[in-house]
Structure 1
Amino acid sequence: MGPRILVFLVVALSQGCTIPAMTDEADFTALKALKDIWKNVPPTWVGADPCGSRWEGILCANSRVTSITLASMGLKGSLSGDIQSLSELQILDLSYNKGLSGPLPSAIGDLKKLTNLILVGCSFWGPIPDSIGSLPLLASLSLNSNGFTGSIPSSIGNLTSLYWLDLADNRLTGTIPVSTATTPGLDLLVHTKHFHLGLNQLSGTIPPKLFSSEMKLIHVLFESNKLTGSIPSTLGLVKTLEVVRLDNNSFRGPVPSNINSLTSVSTMFLSNNDLTGPLPNLTGMNALTYLDMRNNSFDDTEFPPWLSTLQSLKTLLADNPICQETAVTKSYCTVSQPNSSYATPPNNCVPASCFPKQHSSPNCKCAFPYTGLLGFRAPSFSDLGNITYFSVLEKSLMNSFKSHQFPVDSVHLSQPRKDLSQYLDLNLQVFPFGQDRFNRTAILSIGFMLSNQTFKPPAQFGPFFFIGDTYLHFTGEVRGSKKSSSTGAIIGAAAGGSVLLLLLLGAGLYAFGQKMKAEKAIQQNNPFAHWESNNGVGGVPQLKGARCFSFEEIKKYTNNFSETNDIGSGEYGKVYRGVLPTGELITIKRALREWMQPGLEFKTEIELLSRVHHRNVVSLVGFCLERGEQMLIYKFVSNGSLMESLSGKTGIRLDWVRRLKVALGAARGLAYLHELANPPIIHRDIKSTNILLDESLNAKVADFGLSKLMGDSEKGRVTTQGYLDPEYYMTLQLTEKSDVYSFGVVMLELLTGRRPVERGKYVVREVKMALDRAKDLYNLRELLDPSIGLDTTLKGLDKFVDVALKCVQENGSDRPTMGEVVNEIENILQLAGLNPNADSASTSASYDDVSKGSAKHPYKNSKDSFEYSEGFPDPKVEPL
């Protein structure tokens, strides 16, 4: 130990070790305010540095609190508005704390970075605040099993990133909100997969507008409410549905005839309504395994033949007139009371005799398990005596715990039973591994895995929820007052320790810290320090503005590639949203096997893509080439695609001026790829879903990284139907002019609000046939999107149409370049009295500069051939 280190430690100890805190002051103040009104906070919640001293349940990044997870801690108190100061908070999970009550503060809407709001099984009451609709990144909203009252806020329709919506088991009233001309509604949640609204007091009809073919819903759970009217036929448009529960309401009339279009549905509950007419024809619903239509008024007509065609279907028809017919098979009209005394058996051992409050695990070890109720809202089986179901569930739970490396020895299930809502309830005990009790970290981790739906049960169990009990037996703690007495013992022991020991320990920590800092510095300066030299891709990539991510990092940033982070899929593969430790949101595109390139090609492509930086192009953040995976990581763009806005599903109204600016931004991005990259980047799949809008509605061209960077002879069709260059069918080649054609189709989408091919009609052909330049609006009024503002003066619309039609000329040689398209749109904006550069630093002169030069690529002969960062050569450089 060097003398300087000794002097440093002695001085530090003599001054009380006044080392600067790692936690942002405002964050500490907010946490302290919560701590002051909560009872039973973890005993580590001492001092003034939650991040530095690692308060249990608190995660930080860059001195800011990013996560609070405190499931099953026995907290008591309320949630105050002080939480609004945690402006970097992404996850708030206070589940299974029955002692938490009171209203949810409206200040919750100030947490703009929040992605997960999970308050399952608490005692919060009062209305759900409208401000909850102000959380643009929220992916999971779980407020089930509380005491919330009032109506469902229509503002939830603003949550376009929402994946999971669970408001079940509250006391909510009123109607299901859908959008109007002035307010949002649940129909705008086209990316949401779960509508769980059961066990409330909702009334009125299900608005037909609630459902559409663009939705991605898999669960519609509206059971046990006071809903009336008929079942809307629009339900049959949601082809992704797997579970439908409309039972225990007051629905009337026949079941919609198109219900059999839901060919992915496995479980459907329609019981305890007043449905009439013939039994619905479910021919073709081959995935259906459980159908409950009891206690309705279906006609006593001839028994439908389709029932015999669905061999694996369990059908319940009891208490319907049809069951009075003698020809009806009794099995359909009798209800056996589900009963089971199942309990997980010992694993080839003799159960141990344990101390009071301890339990013997399936491995015959005495311990204090973590307990709770595991509930399944729509199981597709009714035979609770079949123990195979439960053994499969036990294995699934254990596999999930092991994959997360949780210290779990075994799980025990018992007392399976159906409650009044036909939920399947089981008692769950989770036993600790290697000791007789869990520590707090383990309970917090297990609780969060079950509350945020990371665990995926076997398919036959359907959607689930978990209500955990307060855990009272933490390792090394004696539960008593607000603060655990162990805290005092620890402090006392530390104070009474040897000064020499402190010095030695401090020196060791100092040396270790210096070593870690050095390693971190090496990693930051050389992010490929661990690049495998034998991975078949040569030396490390030469990147600019991008980095290499490990598979473990991506796994962490996407919450183990959870469904909550799954925001879509395409031909290339699945798309996930992730959060970096800095709080920056990213989009991860995970390639399917059939799309993966040879390693050297992938490396070459990311080297080129990393040099693409432009205001109107989605930036590549990095990549992952590890464990047989190929992933591209981009910056997250918050307002979704142009197509979603044109369809009205984002709630963003694009008037004429906004559409002009979107067209200009997208054109600039595409021109940049064509006219500065060397070799040129041909996008090959320009379409309205590949033009994204950021928070300021700036257009950004996306997915160019999923096409190849091509030379002169690249072949192969990528372009989506309706956008494809007609010349491709003769040449089998895609060129820059192919992108121009596709962009022209996008311009027509901006005009009409229609998809390229809609109801068998091709927008290019429709516009050309209707066009009459001698008439007002070129005779296109009937084709124009009403949202464009037809009651206003649409300055420049005629010239916009002219540019679009030039782009979709049959012959590529007749089409303009993208640089020329940019100039034309800039002129249109000026004609409309607008500054084309009001929201951008790029200028039209930059395109003129390029066209006047002798070389097409201004950097072609320089050593910076691939340093094509920012706009065209102009003294006014665009910002990133």
Structure 2
Amino acid sequence: MMGLRIQVFLLSVWFQFSVIAATTDPRDFGVLQSLRNGWQNTPPTWRSQDPCSNWDGIECVDSRVTSITLSSIGLTGQLSSDITALSELQILDLSYNTELTGTLPPSIGDLKKLTNLILIGCSFHGPIPDSIGSLPQLFYLSINLNKFSGPIPPSIGNLSRLFWLDLADNQLSGQIPVSDGTSSGLDMLVNTEHFHLGNNQLSGEIPDKLFNSDMALKHVLFENNSLTGMIPSSLGLAKKLEVIRFDRNSITGPVPRTLSNLTSIQQLFLSNNKLNGSIPSLAGMNFLSYLDTSNNSFNASEVPLWFSSLLSLTTLIMENTQLQGQVPSVLFSLPNLQTVVFKNNNLSGTLNISTSNSNQLQSIDLRNNSISDFPGSAGAGGINITLDANPICEVSGEVKAYCMKSQSNSSYSTPLNNCQRVSCGSGQISSPTCKCAYPYTGILNFRAPSFSDLENTTYYTTLEGSLTQSFQSHQLPVDSVSLSNPRKNLIEYLQLSLEIFPSGQDHFNWTGISSLGFALSNQTYKPPRGFEPYFFFANPYPNFAGDSTGSNKSTSIGIIIGAAVGGSVLLFLLLLAGVYAYRQKRKAERATDQNQNPFASWDPNKNNGSIPQVKGTRSFSFEELSKYSNKFSDDIGSGGYGKVYRGTLPTGEQIAIKRAQQGSMQGGLEFKTEIELLSRVHHKNVVRLLGFCFQQGEQMLIYDFVPNGSLKDNLSGKSGMRLDWTRRLKIALGAARGLAYLHELADPPIIHRDVKSTNILLDEQLNARVADFGLSKLLFDSEKSHVTTQVKGTLGYLDPEYYMTNQLTEKSDVYSFGVMMLELITARSPIERGKNIVREMKMAINKEKDLYSLSELIDPNIGLGTTLKGFEQFVDLAMKCVEESGADRPTMSEVVKKIENILELAGLNPNAESATTSATYEEASKGNFHHPYSNEAFVYSGSFVSPKIEPH
């Protein structure tokens, strides 16, 4: 009791002196303390006393907090409803903190002075609260790239000052709300210039009431939803529109004639719908640069001659739109034309491009038409012309270049600025000005670029210059920027990898990162014309320059005086409380250790509640593993998680010890959960967990040692083995059986989430063993259909449906397995020199010819020249596994049955054990090889690609 009185007295005295010393309003100070206690990874300055004077990311006016900008700093936790007590708050930007989760508090509507609410690229979920429509000053609302679900609140229509509305890349459903006399709707947002609602699950018709002549709308982006009905004729009333994306929906009917009223349109995407009727006339759209009407059901017609009047046109894409007749040569006279795609139509006659006066024309794709003559082929210059699957390419004799499929491959990277690149260490990167530093990185996404020539470096140098100029003009500490790897994603966003290098030092500090993040999330940076609209997705920044408590903000006199007086009083009080504090410290240490270490009170000889619920798995001490591994001297692999060591148990059994490094360790409870997961898995085609170690600050997992490397090593030749067709079939069957067990017999079922050739190991008899459960997810009864989760997996193997929807199912593993089947056939990586193996196979397959005409893609080591029994059936199964829609893919148990049938067709018993040796096995090199536990693959996490960091 005495100790409690001392505590209360100490707190009251300290609070009084804190208030005297601080310049922050006490009400706001309490709220910020609550936020600090609920978040992890806050800046070091948040340990100091006065937020308005010292805390990074906090801005104040007259002692009241007006701005919180904390993007890209790795915050974890939830957004407490306490924040709504900051009555003077105007700006809240928590973007690019992917571990910020939970729901948006309904009391968010109490922030009556909020102008900017920016939560891009976090993991918030649940419905958008209706109270968000009670923010009368809101100007920017950007909550894209989260997991918000449910309908769009009609109350958003009350936000009369709203300029920017971005709800894209969530899981929103239901109809687009419009006012009806009793409730608000988006039609009331007459001052809003941006409707970004793409990549959701919106359904129903686009309401005719949505658009009106009073609107300031410039961008309407509804791409990749489930919208139906017709394009509303009222769209033609919004005459300021510049960008429209209605593509990838189920919109029907004819395109309304009122569309021709939109003479300011620059980019128009109508592809992948069910539009019918006549191709709409767009004559008069003098600023139109990008037009895509592909994959619709328009009436059969010739290529309209009015196209030749669109002098700004760079890109014309009309794939599968029932075009017929001859391509008018006048089309190629457009001065800015870069790309023409008319593939999969009924065009015929002669292709004549002799009238071309565009020095920008790069690509003409007329595959799968009826073109019979191309007299100007010799003068085509550097234009990439593709006429594959036309009569002109069916003539025997010399194969013309324009008859071969071609792939555009842009590998742009910012050139050096008149200097020589330096070699950097410790994870640093050389900048364009040849300085080693830790850059701020991420992906720039352009939702509707006005150009299609990704090899034109002029666009990127212009973009680099505007980025650097913008950052430096806003006094941000930027030395230079680097752009690289331009590419299009599945929904035609142009993506560029961005690196921003610091000025004056090799790191950014906390304030610098938050300021840069805000410049990109708040659209402070304005890109050159043709690049808008855009959004940025940042990688977490782990390389802050020291503990930035030495802020530029001046220390107030009040703090100094308060600290001096308070220190004197506290010294006396602390002497009185010394004995009590010492006793409480020991008690607290025991409690903390128990909380952080769920194994702390585990007595292996007792049925203790904290013991992991495991079967056949034991706890090893650190000393035991050090002894078994000869003090961790036999390093056999490494990856983002740490290293793997070979060890030998006293019984002579060899083991693999996977030892996490400090930066990649999980929390104790998560580590315990993973052990419980792995201990449930018992199948001959799954690597077995033998035990674990959680001592002396270490996290280690102990597995069976699998001696013959990964499937990847054996396909690439690193192991010295040659796998023939029979052996590859058996490996595919073993891996399929392991995955089918995880999906259907494990309790609860397990989705692996990272199926790939490096995670299929081969034992002594070359039997396949599924390994590496670092990204796996349990599928509980309430989640039988799917798990909504942040996208993770390896680039090239990643299920496109999972990527698009964030909904993980067993069919995501099936897609990855299908990619691996193609790898078994070709021995090629899923993405190699910019080419995707799935796309390459789809384009190359000809079922009318032997081996489906795939001889050039087949790995020669497979046994070409011998009969590959069941090959075509194996290819058919692989292509079924990589269908775009998960519903069209088989289950893993169905895959198992199919491969068993293929083996029987090849005259083999699918249930026979592998022989201890084989011709190919005996050829294996006895030397060293790249061990399966090493992982240098690249893994997708969130919306960017980064080196894999495994959680154990």
Q: TM-score, normalised by structure 2?
A: 0.48
Which residue is 1:198 aligned to? Answer: 198
Distance in 1 (CA, whole Å) between partners of 2:415 and 2:297 is: 44
Q: Which residue of 1 aligns with 2:65?
A: 65
Counterpart in the other structure of 2:279: 279
* Cα displacement string for residues 533-573 of structure 1 (whole angstroms, at most 9, x for unaligned residues): xxxxxxxxxxxxxxxxxxxxxxxxxxxxxxxxxxxxxxxxx
The residue that corresponds to 2:488 in the other structure is: 418
CA, structure 1 residues 154+329, in 2 after alignment: closer, same or farther (shift >3 Å)? Answer: farther
1:45 corresponds to which residue? Answer: 46
Does structure 1 residue 469 correspond to structure 2 residue 491?
Answer: no
The residue number in structure 2 matching 1:719 is none
Matched, 1:342 2:406: no
- 1:305 maps to amino acid: L
**Match for 1:347: what amino acid?**
N
Q: What one-letter code is carried by the residue in structure 2 that aligns with 1:100?
A: L
Task: State whether structure 2 residue 438 is matched by structure 1 residue 359.
Answer: no
Residue 139 of structure 2: aligned partner: 139
2:510 aligned to which of 409, 433, 440: 440
How many Å separate the matches in 2 of 1:129 and 1:143? 12
Q: Does 1:401 align with 2:402?
A: no
Distance 1:106 1:47 in 2: 31
- Give, in whole Å, the separation in 1 of the partners of 2:119 and 2:351: 46
Q: Residues 265-664 of structure 1: matches in 2 within 5 Å?
A: 265-313=265-313, 314-322=315-323, 323-326=345-348, 331=364, 333=366, 338-477=408-547
Cα 1:281/1:332, change in 2 over 3 Å: farther
- Structure 1 residues 272 and 327, CA, compared in 2 at 3 Å: closer, same or farther? farther
Partner Cα separation in structure 2 for residue 328 and residue 279 of structure 1: 23
CA distance in 1, matches of 2:259, 2:48: 60
Query: Cα offset for 1:312?
Result: 3.2
AA aligned to 2:512 is A
Q: 1:78 aligns to what?
A: 78
Residues 304-331 of structure 1: per-residue CA shift (max 9 Å, x gap): 1111111331210011211313269694
| Equivalent residue number for residue 570 of structure 1 | none
Equivalent AA in structure 1 for residue 76 of structure 2: K
Q: How many Å separate the matches in 2 of 1:187 and 1:162?
A: 12
CA contact (8 A) 1:317 1:332 kept: no
Q: What is the CA–CA distance in structure 2 between the aligned matches of 1:329 and 1:300, rounded to whole Å? A: 19
Q: 5+ unaligned residues in a row in structure 2: which ranges?
A: 1-13, 324-344, 353-363, 368-385, 387-405, 565-952
Shift in alpha-carbon separation, 1:18–1:92, aligned structure 2, 3 A: closer
Q: CA shift at 1:17, angstroms?
A: 9.1
Structure 2 CA distance, aligned partners of 1:388 and 1:376?
A: 16
- CA shift at 1:337, angstroms? 5.2
2:89 alignment partner AA: L
Three-state SS of the structure 1 residue aligned to 2:482 is strand
Secondary structure (helix, strand or coil) at the match of 1:34 reads helix
Q: Retained in 2: the 8 A contact 1:21–1:49?
A: yes
1:29 to 2:39 alignment: no
Partner residue in 2 for 1:102: 102
**Conserved? CA contact 1:157–1:188, under 8 Å:** yes
Deviations 1:782-821 (A, max 9, x none): xxxxxxxxxxxxxxxxxxxxxxxxxxxxxxxxxxxxxxxx
SS at match of 1:41: coil
The one-letter code of the counterpart of 1:324 is N
Q: SS in structure 2 opposite 1:374? A: strand
The number of residues matched between the two structures is 473
Whole-angstrom CA distance in 2 between matches of 1:332 and 1:307: 17
C-alpha contact 2:449 2:530 (8 A) present in aligned 1? yes
C-alpha separation in 1, matches of 2:177 and 2:425: 54
**2 CA distance for matches of 1:44 and 1:340?**
43
State the match for 1:643 in structure 2.
Answer: none
- SS of the equivalent of 1:459 reads coil
CA 267–254 in structure 1, closer or farther in 2 if over 3 Å, else same: same
For residues 17 and 236 of structure 1, the distance between their equivalents in structure 2, rounded to whole angstroms, comes to 61
- Bigger mean CA deviation after superposition, 169-178 or 303-312: 303-312
Letter of the structure 1 residue corresponding to residue 414 of structure 2: T
SS in 1 for 2:46: coil
| SS of the residue 2:40 aligns to | coil
Paired AA for residue 61 in structure 1: V
Letter in 2 for 1:21: A
1:817 aligns with none
CA shift in 2, pair 1:287/1:328, >3 Å: farther
SS in structure 1 at match of 2:302: coil
Specify the SS of the correspondent of 1:202: strand
Deviation at 1:458, TM superposition (A): 1.0
For residues 160 and 18 of structure 1, the distance between their equivalents in structure 2, rounded to whole angstroms, comes to 39
Give the match for residue 222 of structure 2: 222
Give me the whole-angstrom Cα distance separating, in 2, the residues matched to 1:81 and 1:302. 60
Amino acid at match of 1:349: C
> Which one-letter code corresponds to 1:234 in the other structure?
S
CA distance, structure 1, for counterparts of residue 214 and residue 511 of structure 2 = 41
Matches of 1:410 and 1:459, distance apart in 2: 21
Residue deviations 1:175-215 (CA, integer Å, cap 9, x gap): 00000110000000000000000000000000000000110
Structure 2 residue matching 1:157: 3-state secondary structure: helix
How far apart, in 2, do the equivalents of 1:208 and 1:348 lie? Answer: 56
Q: Is the 8 A contact 2:132 2:155 kept in 1?
A: yes
| Cα 1:295–1:327 shift into 2, 3 Å | farther
Q: Is the 8 A contact 1:150 1:174 kept in 2?
A: yes
**% identity of equivalent residues:** 60
| Distance (Å, rounded) in 1 between the aligned partners of 2:424 and 2:517 | 25
Question: Residue 69 of structure 1: CA displacement?
Answer: 0.2
Query: Is the Cα–Cα contact under 8 Å of residues 296 and 319 in structure 1 kept in the other structure?
Result: yes
3-state DSSP of counterpart to 1:224: coil
> How far apart are residue 261 of structure 1 and its match?
1.1
Contact 1:197 1:221 in 2 (8 A): yes
Contact 2:202 2:227 in 1 (8 A): yes
Deviation at 1:124, TM superposition (A): 0.3
Partner of 2:854: none
Q: CA, structure 1 residues 395+83, in 2 after alignment: closer, same or farther (shift >3 Å)?
A: same
Tell me which residue corresponds to 1:663: none
Q: Structure 1 CA distance, aligned partners of 2:18 and 2:252?
A: 73
Q: 1:332, CA displacement in angstroms? A: 6.9
Counterpart residue identity of residue 176, structure 1? I
Following superposition, the deviation at residue 54 of structure 1 comes to 2.1
